[in-house]
């Protein structure tokens, strides 16, 4: 059973900050923005005195791009990313085992795959942090103790100059990476699949522009399994698996990196080697992501092989899921038990991503020629004549804070799915739905909301900061929505989506997962009532107001 030292306090004694985040990587920094945007005080404790300047992740998918845009950096993302044009798995002879084609206009309003130089992405988030009131980033502060009480958590950090600093907060989130102090302190059990291999990672900057098609390739060569991926404008990454009996010390040398990249036309004359280092990937997840008022996110909660490109994406999904739930709990609009759905929802999704990554890893990490030949023959026979595939849609939630199907304990369709995003026309102009309407809870309906929901239910939605939006037919002006925000479905995304489920109303959570759908006035009322009941808290008058610092 996880243990944590406790103290006792009451709300009569205010805390130094509302939320302490341990770790200022992209996951912790994104979470700080998501919480501060909702009006709360955030303190980030980071043990490194300066930002880490080398890349780790190299890409993120279209759903994650949408989530990152929610931090306010959307207009700048195109400056530091480059869309990938495809992802192939190939045999040593170049035969295609797996082929996925990417588009620049994916179902979530962003390119299917976005390659990036991670430090550039972190700079965007850091600039956003500086532009927000309420965020304090303390570098050179290594957390050494956490004491959780009934009303506050006390966090003790050791500073660079040898001093000790104690901060109190309502909640603490450990975003402190694979070697998380917070996770170890909580003593939560970890499920480790024991699937790990050592690889040489080589990051390069190309001296001249060069086109790679497809952008990303896994070469399933038993003589040397190899990964070649884009890592943002002008940069690429090569990774080479350490072979059985091969010395890690011999592999981890610059001259080895150049020798292995030479067949790809990458030499000191054509590229600058930014980094050459070995790493060992892991496949594991923490079994518990919340203990009292302390939570885990990102690599502190889960680690996965890189083959599905979901490591950083999973961390961003964690904090987007967590931020709005923390907000509701801090505002008293939901019982603290709402935070238990964070583990329930995200652990299941992370576990699925890890298992998928392991499955792919077992496909490439084959060094026996006979086993590789058998793999190639089986896969090629199964895919013969098939065109390039499309990326799988974003994974739905199977359980958690979702509308329940009538008479059933499970969620009914489309509850749990990630709602697509298209362009709409609204009173202020045209653009992606999230930008035109705004972020947070959304009730999208083809009906006049005032005819299907009474004043009490509309007041409840207003208390949550819900955007109540009427979906108008083509040819009708947004100003004709009847006292609510009206949008016209420019890309014809939302009307077909509602029709698919026989629905006239769709209630969407702040993380873009559908809470539930309904048809007609009685269905819309029941949908809103279900959300209110699930949050386990009445909404007092004026509850939507945020704290004053």
Contact 135, 19 (CB under 8 A): no
Q: Residue 122: which of 183, 39, 44 has the closest Cα?
A: 44
* pLDDT interval class at 405 (50, 70, 90): confident
Cα dihedral 148/149/153/158 (nearest 10): -60
Structure tokens at 181: 């102090």
Angstrom distance (rounded) from CA 425 to CA 437: 10
Arithmetic mean of pLDDT over the chain: 92
CB 441 within 8 A of CB 466: yes
What beta strand segments (E) does 310-447 contain?
423-426, 429-432, 442-445
- For 477-523, write each residue's pLDDT tens digit: 877 777 788 999 999 999 999 999 999 999 999 999 999 999 999 99
Given a cut of 80, is residue 539 above it in pLDDT?
Answer: no
26-35, 341-350, 401-410, 465-474: least confidently modelled range? 401-410
* pLDDT number for residue 210: 93
pLDDT of residue 407: 57
Question: For residue 331, which of 13, 19, 4 has the smallest C-alpha distance?
Answer: 19
Q: Compute how many other C-beta atoms are within 10 angstroms of the C-beta atom of residue 418.
A: 23
Contact 92, 224 (CB under 8 A): no
Which pLDDT band holds residue 410 (cuts at 50, 70, 90)? low
List the single range of 61-65, 227-231, 483-487, 540-544 with lowest mean pLDDT: 540-544
CA–CA separation, 391 and 105 (whole Å): 12
Give CB contacts under 8 A, 24+ apart, made by 535-541: 535/328, 535/333, 535/334, 535/335, 535/338, 535/401, 536/334, 536/335, 536/337, 536/338, 537/328, 537/332, 537/333, 537/334, 537/335, 539/333, 539/459, 539/460, 539/463, 539/464, 540/332, 540/463
C-alpha 150/C-alpha 7 separation (Å) is 7
What local confidence, expressed as pLDDT, does residue 542 receive?
44
CB 515 within 8 A of CB 447: no
Which range has the worst mean pLDDT, 34-43, 114-123, 470-479?
470-479
For the chain, the farthest-separated pair of C-alpha atoms sits apart, in whole angstroms, at 73
Average pLDDT (5-32) is 79
Q: Which two tokens stand for residue 221?
A: 């060569």
Helices (H), 8-85: 26-36, 62-68, 74-80
Preceding amide of 414 cis, omega within 30? yes
Q: What is the mean pLDDT of residues 435-439?
A: 96
- Please state, in angstroms and rounded to a whole number, the distance separating the CA atoms of residues 83 and 105: 10
In the block, tokens 């502190």 appear at: 300
Taking the C-alpha atoms of residue 107 and residue 127, their distance in angstroms, rounded to an integer, is: 28
What's the rounded Cα separation, in Å, for the pair 316 and 34? 11
Domain coordinates of the chain in residue numbers?
A: 5-55+117-190+285-362, 82-111+197-280+365-395, 423-535
d(CA 262, CA 266): 5
Q: How far is Cα 118 from Cα 201, in angstroms, rounded to an integer? A: 15
Segment 151-179 mean pLDDT: 96
Q: Which two tokens stand for residue 427?
A: 């009173």
pLDDT band at 466 (very low <50, low <70, confident <90, very high): very high
Cα separation, 200 vs 51, in Å, equals 23
Report the pLDDT value the prediction gives residue 409, as an integer from 0 to 100: 60
- Tokens 């945020």: give the residue: 546
pLDDT band at 475 (very low <50, low <70, confident <90, very high): confident
User: How crowded is the C-beta side of 427, counted as CA atoms within 13 Å?
Assistant: 12
Query: Which of the listed CATH numbers 3.30.2130.30, 3.20.20.120, 3.30.9.10, 3.40.50.300 matches domain 82-111+197-280+365-395?
Result: 3.30.9.10
**Mean pLDDT throughout 390-407?**
89
Contact between residue 208 and residue 214 where contact means Cβ atoms under 8 Å apart: no
What average pLDDT does this structure show over 396-422?
86
What pLDDT sits at residue 192? 98
Which of 253, 258, 287, 292 has its CA nearest to residue 272?
258
Whether 358 shows a pLDDT value over 70: the answer reads yes
pLDDT at 219: 98
Confidence tier at 53 by pLDDT (50, 70, 90): confident
Tokens of residue 224, six digits: 């040397």
DSSP SS3 for 250: helix
Class of 423-535 in CATH: alpha beta
Cβ burial 305-338 (10 Å sphere, 16+ → b, else e): bbbbbbbbbbbbbbbbbbbbbbbbbbbebbebeb
CB 483 within 8 A of CB 458: no
User: Is the CB of residue 84 less than 8 Å from the CB of residue 210?
Assistant: no
d(C-alpha 535, C-alpha 532), whole Å: 5
> Cβ distance 57 to 113 under 8 Å?
no
Least reliable range by pLDDT among 392-401, 514-523, 528-537: 528-537
The predicted pLDDT at position 406 comes to 67
Domain 5-55+117-190+285-362, CATH number (from 3.50.50.60, 3.30.420.40, 1.10.8.60, 3.40.50.150): 3.50.50.60
Q: Give the pLDDT confidence score for residue 477 in this predicted structure.
A: 81
pLDDT in tens, 372-381: 999 999 999 9
pLDDT at 428 over 60: yes
C-alpha 273: how far from chain center? 29
């Amino acid at each position: 059973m996880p243990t944590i030292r406790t103290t006792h306090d009451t709300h009569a004694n205010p805390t130094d900050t509302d939320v302490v985040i341990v770790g200022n990587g992209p996951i912790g920094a994104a979470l700080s923005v998501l919480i501060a945007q909702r009006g709360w005080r955030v303190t980030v404790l980071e043990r490194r005195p300066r930002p880490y300047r080398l890349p780790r992740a190299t890409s993120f998918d279209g759903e994650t791009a949408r989530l990152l845009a929610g931090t306010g950096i959307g207009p700048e993302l195109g400056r530091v990313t480059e869309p990938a044009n495809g992802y192939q798995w190939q045999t040593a002879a170049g035969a295609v085992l797996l082929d996925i084609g990417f588009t620049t206009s994916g179902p979530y309003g962003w390119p299917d795959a976005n390659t990036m130089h991670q430090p550039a992405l972190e700079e965007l988030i850091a600039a956003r942090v500086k532009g927000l009131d309420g965020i304090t980033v303390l570098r050179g502060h290594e957390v050494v103790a956490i004491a959780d009480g009934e009303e506050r958590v006390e966090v003790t950090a050791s500073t660079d100059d040898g001093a000790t600093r104690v901060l109190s907060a309502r909640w603490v989130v450990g975003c402190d990476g694979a070697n998380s102090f917070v996770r170890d302190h909580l003593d939560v059990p970890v499920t480790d699949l024991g699937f790990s291999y050592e690889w040489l990672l080589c990051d390069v900057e190309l001296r001249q522009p060069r086109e790679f098609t497809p952008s990303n390739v896994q070469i399933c060569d038993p003589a040397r399994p190899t990964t070649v991926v884009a890592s943002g404008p002008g940069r690429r990454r090569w990774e080479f698996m350490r072979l059985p009996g091969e010395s890690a010390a011999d592999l981890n040398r610059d001259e080895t990196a150049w020798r292995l990249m030479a067949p790809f036309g990458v030499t000191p004359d054509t590229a600058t080697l930014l980094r050459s280092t070995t790493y060992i990937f892991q496949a594991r997840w923490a079994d518990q992501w919340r203990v009292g008022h302390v939570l885990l996110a990102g690599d502190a909660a889960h680690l996965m092989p890189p083959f599905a490109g979901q490591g950083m994406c999973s961390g961003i999904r964690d904090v987007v899921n967590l931020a709005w739930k923390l907000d509701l709990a801090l505002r008293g609009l939901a019982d603290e038990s709402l935070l238990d759905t964070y583990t329930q929802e995200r652990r299941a999704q992370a576990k699925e991503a890890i298992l998928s990554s392991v499955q792919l890893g077992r496909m490439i990490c084959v060094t026996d020629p006979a086993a590789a030949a058998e793999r190639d023959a089986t896969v090629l026979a199964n895919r013969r004549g098939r065109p390039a595939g499309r990326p799988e849609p974003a994974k739905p939630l199977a359980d958690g804070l979702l509308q329940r199907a009538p008479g059933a304990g499970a969620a009914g369709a489309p509850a749990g799915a990630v709602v697509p995003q298209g362009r709409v026309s609204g009173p202020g102009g045209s653009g992606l739905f999230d930008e035109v309407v705004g972020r947070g809870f959304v009730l999208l309906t083809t009906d006049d909301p005032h005819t299907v929901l009474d004043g009490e239910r509309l007041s409840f939605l207003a208390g949550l900061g819900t955007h109540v939006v009427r979906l108008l037919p083509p040819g009708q002006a947004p100003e004709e929505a009847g006292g609510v925000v009206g949008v016209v479905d420019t890309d014809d995304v939302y009307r077909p989506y509602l029709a698919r489920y026989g629905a006239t109303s769709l209630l969407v959570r702040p993380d873009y997962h559908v809470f539930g759908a309904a048809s007609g006035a009685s269905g819309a009322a029941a949908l809103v009532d279900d959300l209110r009941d699930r949050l386990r808290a009445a909404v007092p008058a004026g509850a939507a107001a945020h704290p004053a610092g």
